Amino acid sequence: MQPAKFLTGSITRHVINMTTASAVGLIMLFTSDLVDMFFLSQLGHQPLAAAVGFAGTLLFFATAACIGLQVGMGALVARALGASQRLQAGQLCTDVLLFSLFFSLLITAAFAFCIDELLIFIGASGNTLEYALSYSRILLLSTPFLAVGMCGSAALRSLGDAKRSMYVTIMGALVNVALDPLFIFTFGWGIEGAAWASFCSRIVLFVLAMYWLIKTHRLPQHPRWASFKTSIRPVSLIAGPAMLTSLATPLASTYVIKVMATYGDQAVAASAIIGRLIPVTFAVIFALSGAVGPIIGQNAGAGSYDRVRQTVLSAMLLNVVYCLAAWLLLFLLKDIIVAVFDAEGETASLIIFYCQYLVGAFLFSGMLFVANAGFNNLNRAYLATTFNFAKALLGVIPFVAIMSKYFGAPGVLTGEAVAAAVFAIAATVVLLRRIENLKNRL
pLDDT on residue 25 = 67
Cβ-proximal residues to 320 (8 Å cutoff; 6+ apart), any chain: 363, 366
Neighbours of 47 (CB within 10 A): 21
**With helix as H, strand as E and coil as C, how does the chain read?**
CCCCHHHCCCHHHHHHHHHHHHHHHHHHHHHHHHHHHHHHHCCCCHHHHHHHHHHHHHHHHHHHHHHHHHHHHHHHHHHHHHCCCHHHHHHHHHHHHHHHHHHHHHHHHHHHHHHHHHHHHCCCCHHHHHHHHHHHHHHHCCHHHHHHHHHHHHHHHHCCCHHHHHHHHHHHHHHHHHHHHHHHHHCCCCHHHHHHHHHHHHHHHHHHHHHHHHHHCCCCCCCCHHHHHHHHHHHHHHHHHHHHHHHHHHHHHHHHHHHHHCCCHHHHHHHHHHHHHHHHHCHHHHHHHHHHHHHHHHHHHCCCHHHHHHHHHHHHHHHHHHHHHHHHHHHHHHHHHHHHCCCCHHHHHHHHHHHHHHHHHHHHHHHHHHHHHHHHHCCCHHHHHHHHHHHHHHHHHHHHHHHHHHHCHHHHHHHHHHHHHHHHHHHHHHHHHHHHHHHHHC
Report the C-alpha gap between 9 and 314 in whole angstroms: 14
Taking the domains of the chain in order of start, what are their residue ranges?
21-441
Of 153, 165, 253, 184, nearest in space to 35 by CA: 184
Which residues are CB-neighbours of 94 under 8 A, at least 6 positions away? 220, 221, 222, 223, 227, 228
The pLDDT of residue 340: 86
How much is the pLDDT for 366?
A: 93
Q: Each residue's pLDDT tens digit in the chain (442 positions)?
A: 455 678 888 888 888 888 887 777 667 766 776 677 778 777 766 678 778 878 877 787 787 778 778 877 877 888 888 888 888 889 989 998 998 899 899 999 999 999 999 899 888 888 889 999 999 999 999 999 999 998 999 899 888 887 898 899 889 889 988 999 999 998 989 889 999 999 999 999 999 999 999 999 999 988 888 888 887 888 787 777 777 777 777 778 888 888 988 888 888 888 888 887 887 788 888 888 778 888 898 888 888 899 999 999 999 999 999 999 999 999 999 999 998 888 888 889 999 999 999 999 999 999 999 998 899 888 888 898 899 889 988 999 999 999 999 899 999 999 999 999 999 999 999 999 999 998 888 6
Q: Looking at residue 4, what is its pLDDT?
A: 67
Rg of the chain on CA atoms, in Å: 21
What's this model's pTM, rounded to 2 decimal places?
0.72
Count of Cβ atoms closer than 10 Å to residue 442 Cβ: 7
* Centroid of chain to Cα 436: 28
Stated length of the chain: 442
User: So what's the pLDDT on residue 239?
Assistant: 75
> What are the angstrom distances between the C-alpha of 66 and each of 7, 103, 266?
28, 9, 30
Distance of alpha carbon 95 from alpha carbon 285, whole angstroms: 29
